[in-house]
Structures are given as C-alpha cells and as structure tokens.
Amino acid sequence: MKDIRIARIPQSESLPVVSTTAAPTAADQRVLVRMRAAALNFADILKSRGQYQEAQPFPFVPGLEGAGEVITAPAESGLMPGDRVAVWAPGTMTEVMAVPADACLKIPDNMSFDQAAGFQIAYGTSHLALVHRAGLQAGETLAVLGAAGGVGLTAVQIGRAIGARVIGVARVPERLGIVAEAGADDLIDSDDSPDLKAALREFGPIDVVYDPVGAEPGLAAFGALRRGGRFLIIGFAGGKPPRLPLNHALVKNIAIYGFYWGGYRDLDRQALRDSLAQCFALFADGKLAPHAGEVLDLDQIAEGYRLLEARKTTGKVIIRL
C-alpha cells in the first residue's frame, strides 16, 4: 500500500513524501479500514517541524482524521465490512490502517468521504467546547473571533444550530460574506473596528466568547463579556495568548475554559465520541454544512502542506487516498 511519511524534522524545503509499505493486517479489537480520504490540519505542520505539544517520533505517518470503508471489524464493535466510517486517530494519511473500534463512527448516508475526513476535528472542537465546556444555550449571545477560519466557521454554524445569537468577527468583506452564509446574525469587520470591545458591546451583553485567535482581539472580546460570562480559549492564531486580567474574571465571575479537542481522547473519550455523533446527526438533518476547501490527490501532498502553511485556503485541505 501507499502512505505519506515524514522522515525527519524538515529543513527549508523538505516536505512529506509518498512511500510504499506493507499493509497492516487485522488484529484483536482493531478495525481494519480502507481509507478513502484524510484531512490536513495545522497540527500536521507543527508535527512535521517537531513543534507540536504531543511529540511524535520520526519517521511517522501524518494525519489526525480521515474516512473510509471497514474491511474487517471485531464482532462486538457494531461495525460490518463495507460500513462507511469516520476515523480519528494519528496516521490517517495511508491507504489502510488498523484502529481501535472506539476511534470509528459510522457517517451519514448523505455525507461524502471528503466531507467526513475534514469534519471531525473542526466541528468536534466547536461542539464539545460550546456544548460540553461552556454550556451554550438557545437564546444566549455567542461572539466568534476568527469566524472565517476553519474552526471559526464551525463555531458559527453550531451556535446557530443550538439557537444562540451569533456575532461573527473576521477580516475582509469577502470573508465576512462566508461568515454570513454560515449563519451569523451580526458581523464585525475587525480591520474596520479599531475598538473591538466597544463594537461587541454595541450588540448587547455577550454570554460566550469563542477565541481561536488570542492576542489583542482575545483581550478585547474578554472585556466585552457580561458578568457571569464564559471565555473559551481555542488557540492562538494571532501569535500569542491574550493577556487576560484575572482580577476582572474574579470580580465579574467570568469562567475561563482552556480547550484542546485532542486531549479528550484521554480526558473523556466517551464525551468526545458522543459529541461527534451529535455533530453527524446535525449534518444528516441539514443543520451543518462544511465549507469546501482544496481536494488533492495523494501525489499532491507537498502542495497541500504549502497551501496550509501559506493559509491560502478557507476550508480543509483534503487528500484523497
């Protein structure tokens, strides 16, 4: 079979390569999956540089999520040969992989392999963070920073599906149009709003802030939270964490939640699995619509890495296997 290999910590122009290796065989309590598609995430870039928080020995097969068809499965897994499944496990950039049964979920009939491959981390992050951690409720107001980004768009859609009022913060009118299509009720152009805190406050009290940006925008959004509000730390695309004033959190009874989706594999695997099942159900009901990104063939993997590093795609980069 073919797979992708990261042989060593890359220097300037070193990129992942396609290799040929022996396919795995069925093992006890493992599901053997013929992978059809896998998604690239920025975590894959960091891993290839040796900069990810969960270090992985070189060489390794990249990819953290994908989708395919079951070849064989343990009888107690509830899966059958031919079942279409999503897979969340390290090493999805391969034609065949053996994974634990609880790392697989059946995908809706109306979902393609390409959609399923790039669905899990982005939508899983927003759903588990908003529902499980922040307890977002219908009728509350959610502010989403970086709303035109990969996870930002999913937060907008999930907030809308829950019944919250959603304020999308993004840059450039064209990208704000994408946020509006995702279901945001109100839009803020961060390039055209020198005082983001004041702009958010104009839309009324903010119950929950979803922050994958950090830096100054994160600090501004924190200042717009109502008393008793909740602040979700998702990432630091702005280059650094926001310098949150903890004394304000104290006197305003604001809850600050750090959230890392991958950590739930060990922290609460069942919560992660249940959240994904709810996301797939929302997709099947037409309430979630993944934004189309780049779809590339296996031999275009290096181009996929370049696109992701340059941030030249608004959706997921999908590799067809």
Model confidence band, residue 228 (pLDDT cutoffs 50, 70, 90): very high
Question: Token pair of 61, please?
Answer: 């097969």
From the number of C-beta atoms within 10 Å of its C-beta (0-12, 13-18, 19+), residue 201 rates as: middle
Output the CATH code of domain 124-262. Answer: 3.40.50.720
Q: What is the 3-state secondary structure (H, E, C) of 173-205?
A: HHHHHHHHHHCCCEEEEHHHCCCHHHHHHCCCC
Q: How far apart are CA 50 and CA 57, in angstroms?
A: 9
Q: How far apart are CA 189 and CA 191, in angstroms?
A: 5
**CATH 3.40.50.720 domain position(s) in the chain:** 124-262
**CATH 3.90.180.10 domain position(s) in the chain:** 2-119+290-320
Residue 12's pLDDT is 45
Tens digits of residue pLDDT in 158-181: 999 999 999 999 988 888 999 999
Model confidence band, residue 13 (pLDDT cutoffs 50, 70, 90): very low
Q: Which of 44-48, 50-54, 104-108, 201-205 has the lowest mean pLDDT?
A: 50-54
Residue 57's pLDDT is 82
Tens digits of residue pLDDT in 232-284: 999 998 889 999 999 999 999 999 999 999 899 899 999 999 999 999 999 99
Class in CATH terms, 2-119+290-320:
alpha beta
Q: What percent of the chain has pLDDT over 70?
A: 96
Dihedral of alpha carbons 171, 173, 178, 184, sign: positive
